[in-house]
Amino acid sequence: MAEIVLGMALSHGPMLSTPPDDWGLRVAADRQNRHPYRGQTLSFDELVRERQSEHLDKQITRAVWHRRHTECRQAIDTLARVFEAAKPDVAVIFGNDQHEIFADDNSPAISVFWGQTIVNNEFDMDHIANLPPGVAIAIPGHIPPGGGCYPGAPDLGRHIIESAMADEFDVTSLTRMSGDHTPHAFGFIFRQVMHDKVIPTVPVMLNTFFPPNQPSVHRCYALGQSVVKAIRSWKSDARVALFASGGLSHFVIDEQIDRAMLDALRSRDLTKVAALDEATFQSGTSELKNWIALAGAMAQCELTYNEIAYVPCYRSEAGTGTANAFATWTPPAR
């Protein structure tokens, strides 16, 4: 029977791969967009008025940006050391696609990749030129120079699909990603936690972002439980690491939601998170569902939760930015 030896959850947003002096590059796009926030969809100026009592101008100084960038990088370094020490043979990553391989004409709710090879090509210059402000600078954080080619785990991937189907999940089966691109939810882990020494991996993709077929909180939690069952019934003695990639709240930071999520992980009780309206889990904040899938998995495992860091990284007085968090589940100390 395969053994789950590690759980790991982390944010992956562009700000983590952007020098702190350039965190303001995304604000131009923030000003043009409308943003989900506590059941409303507000303009930038409306957010400024809504949140003026929080004095967020104090959160967007260069000194604060540098301090928080350092905290995030230290947390990622910690994750990399924990991963290396755990020596897993194979990884399963709960992540999401942001129209990197799927589009509105084909957007499955749940997908599992079970191909032999995960290809992470660089984008061409036309694609890069059309990216929103402040995104291109972060590309090296999830795509290596010249692109990357990593091992899949087809035997485990197929077994997860078959097991999930038996558990009445309707799963899209993937053996190749469109355009030979890897969504940054996965590429970030390959580069910054595995340091490009990628072990065989099964990407599990949840459509957290795009209506109308986003899986619910309860469904994501149950999927995590199903994946653990699949791993434990897999005829292998491999050591397995489980990841969640994404979150926490963004593109508008809401520390109240983030604290509820982190409290739920500590207590292994997602009741309060599950009680939140589905309207909460929209835009970037929807990536909390990747963490919820991992929480469902970790609830089945005898591993200890360790919160490495929670670092809300604001980039504007409207509260836009990314709340970054980093956590592990490791065997209890003997």
CA 191/CA 118 separation, integer angstroms: 13
CA 280/CA 98 separation, integer angstroms: 18
Name the domain count of the chain. Answer: 1
Tens-level pLDDT at each residue, the chain (334 residues)? 899 999 999 999 999 999 999 999 999 999 999 999 998 999 999 999 999 999 999 999 999 999 999 999 999 999 999 999 999 999 999 999 999 999 999 999 999 999 999 999 998 888 888 888 889 999 999 999 999 999 999 999 999 999 999 999 999 999 999 988 999 999 999 999 999 999 999 999 999 999 999 999 999 999 999 999 999 999 999 999 999 999 999 999 999 999 999 999 999 999 999 999 899 999 999 999 999 999 999 999 999 999 999 999 999 999 999 999 999 999 987 7
Q: Is 219 exposed, middle or buried (0-12, 13-18, 19+ CB in 10 A)?
A: middle
**What residue numbers bound the domain in which 117 lies?**
3-330
Q: Is the CB of residue 109 less than 8 Å from the CB of residue 206?
A: yes
Quote the pTM value. Answer: 0.97
Run of H or E including 43: none
Total residue length of the chain: 334
CATH number of the structural domain spanning residue 24: 3.40.830.10
CA distances from 277 to 251, 274, 282 (A): 18, 8, 10
Tokens of 240: 């397995």
